[in-house]
Amino acid sequence: MRQDFKEIGHTGGKISFSIFGDDDGKVSFSTEYSSSSPFPATLSGIYAHHTIGICSTLKLGGMGEPFNEPPLPECIPVFLASDSEGKFGHDCPVCNKHFRSESLPVNSPLICPYCGLHAAAHKFITKSQTKYVEHYVSQLYMAFETVRPGSEQVCEIDMDSIAGDLEKEPVPDYYYTSTAQQTEFKCQACSRYNDIRGRFGYCSSCGTRNNKASFKEYLDTVREQVNKKGVRPEDAIKQIISDFDSTCRNYVSELVKKVRMKRSRKNELTKIKFHEIDHFCEVLERNFDFKLKKPLSQNEYLVAKKLFLRRHVYEHNGGEATEQYIRESDDTSVQIGELLRESIENVHSLSNILSKMIDVLHDDFLELFPPEKFFIEIKKQRDQRWSKNKE
């Protein structure tokens, strides 16, 4: 398991500038990035102005494809190389938290996994990346001023040599790194990489929350353990419902943050008990028209209700049937004080039922907060090409 919040070094590489002064004293330049480092390297870019600072993201394009137009004629295209895992660190300008993704998108905003801010990627530049951009622009401007008419001047920013000298102090402030977070996930909607603090968050490329995928992953792990007899079915029921509770609670806390509501409604929502199925289904339907029961058959709903009641017995009564359990569940197979016996089949039934309920919660949440389409469309087109190739 990787270490939380470990610093991830820069991938290295060299930026070389060739500055040309023509006979009339007009200056032009070209830039080249080269890398011989053994680490994965990805390039992104931004436009920066020597007095205004960072102005916009830069579309690097493919071979022979020109960059997008700069927002101002004097803006300089600045190459930013990734960290040594091929990813980029970002700081949210609103909540100030750090996260990592695979690029600085140009055709779509970057999204903060924590507060959900949608903004142009250059707004998420970290302090050390800003220092690098300042250094980059000042190097170039210094060369512009010193190049003689009719000559060429070459200068470079060598990140390889800094990366090789990290033990020696001081590291220049323009040497930027990123910080490993706690949960790496590939978004199921757009397939893009994310690295976030905590467990749940928005995908930084499309804005789809990862709760549903994370819960289903957890269900798969528990089901596998139960099948291998590594976990008792009664413990699995407790674990699954507890994880369902955390997953749903997280969606609801986003709703409380993002939907304008009176304090009384806020209070009701923050106190929802996700181990009482009738209660949470009713509260979510009344407040948001989320119909979590909708995909369940009558029988599935009764099975779920009984297993939620059994969880209560496992959690609070050492597994011995209580009068309340028998009354509310209509379970005639046990007497008060007898131990409930749980089956593996019940674990699988509960997993299937909760999986359907999470689908509804996730889809209804997306209806209120629709994702950005750009990377989802790219994934769709890629998937279609793959399936055509297979035919």
Residues that bind Zn ion (rule: CB under 5 A) add up to a total of 14
Select the span of 45-53, 55-63, 115-123, 280-288 touching Zn ion (CB under 5 A): 115-123
The residue among 94 and 368 lying less far from Zn ion, judged by its C-beta, is: 94
Beta carbons of 180 and 3 less than 8 angstroms apart: yes
Q: Smallest distance, Å, CB 362 to Zn ion?
A: 13
The minimum distance between CB 244 and Zn ion, in angstroms, equals: 23
Q: Is 308 in the site for Zn ion (CB under 5 A)?
A: no
CB 117 to Zn ion: min, Å: 5
Q: Quick check: 101 and 110 in contact, CB under 8 A?
A: yes
Out of 54, 206, 241, 283, which residue is the one contacting Zn ion (CB under 5 A)?
206
Kindly identify the residues of this chain, within the stretch 276-305, that bind Zn ion according to CB under 5 A: none
Hey, CA dihedral for 282, 284, 289, 290, is it positive or negative?
negative
Tell me the closest approach of the beta carbon of residue 343 to Zn ion, in angstroms.
Answer: 37
Q: How wide is the angle at C-alpha 315 spanned by C-alphas 286 and 298, nearest 5°? A: 45
Q: Residue 183 CB, nearest distance to Zn ion (Å)?
A: 14
Asked if residue 186 binds Zn ion (CB under 5 A), the reply is no
What is the radius of gyration, based on Cα positions, of the chain? 27
Shorter beta-carbon distance to Zn ion: residue 197 or 275: 197
In DSSP terms, which residues pair with 224 in a beta bridge? none
CA distance 371 to 250: 18
- Pick from 190, 231, 255, 353: which binds Zn ion (CB under 5 A)? 190
CA distances from 305 to 276, 278, 330, 359 (A): 8, 8, 11, 18
- In terms of residues, how long is the chain? 391
Q: How far is the CB of 190 from Zn ion (least distance, A)?
A: 3
Its sign, for the CA torsion 279, 284, 285, 291, is negative
Query: For residues 90 and 223, which CB has a smaller minimum distance to Zn ion in the complex?
Result: 90
Count CB neighbours of 229 within 10 A.
Answer: 9
Among 189, 255, 357, 360, binds Zn ion (CB under 5 A): 189
Nearest distance from C-beta of residue 83 to Zn ion, angstroms: 20
Cβ atoms of residues 205 and 118 within 8 Å = no
Is 125 an interacting residue with respect to Zn ion (CB under 5 A)? no
If one asks whether residue 157 binds Zn ion (CB under 5 A), the answer comes out as no
Is the distance from CB of 205 to CB of 192 less than 8 angstroms? yes
Q: Which stretch binds Zn ion (CB under 5 A): 44-52, 135-143, 163-171, 186-194?
A: 186-194
Return the DSSP state at 95: T
Residues 193, 215: Cα–Cα separation, whole Å: 18
Q: Can you tell me the distance from the alpha carbon of 366 to that of 208, in angstroms, rounded to the nearest whole number?
A: 7
Q: Residue 151's Cα: distance from chain center in Å?
A: 48
Q: Which of 27, 43, 115, 344 binds Zn ion (CB under 5 A)?
A: 115
Nearest distance from C-beta of residue 202 to Zn ion, angstroms: 8
How many angstroms separate the CA atoms of 50 and 70, rounded?
A: 13
Per-residue mark of binding to Zn ion, 72-111 (x: CB under 5 A) = --------------------x-xx----------------
Closest contact distance (angstroms) between CB of 102 and Zn ion is 11
Question: Does 47 help bind Zn ion (rule: CB under 5 A)?
Answer: no
Rounded to whole angstroms, how far apart are CA atoms 269 and 332? Answer: 35
Q: Which of 19/196 has CB closer to Zn ion? A: 196
Give the footprint of Zn ion on this chain (CB under 5 A). Answer: 92, 94-95, 112, 114-115, 117, 187, 189-190, 203, 205-206, 208
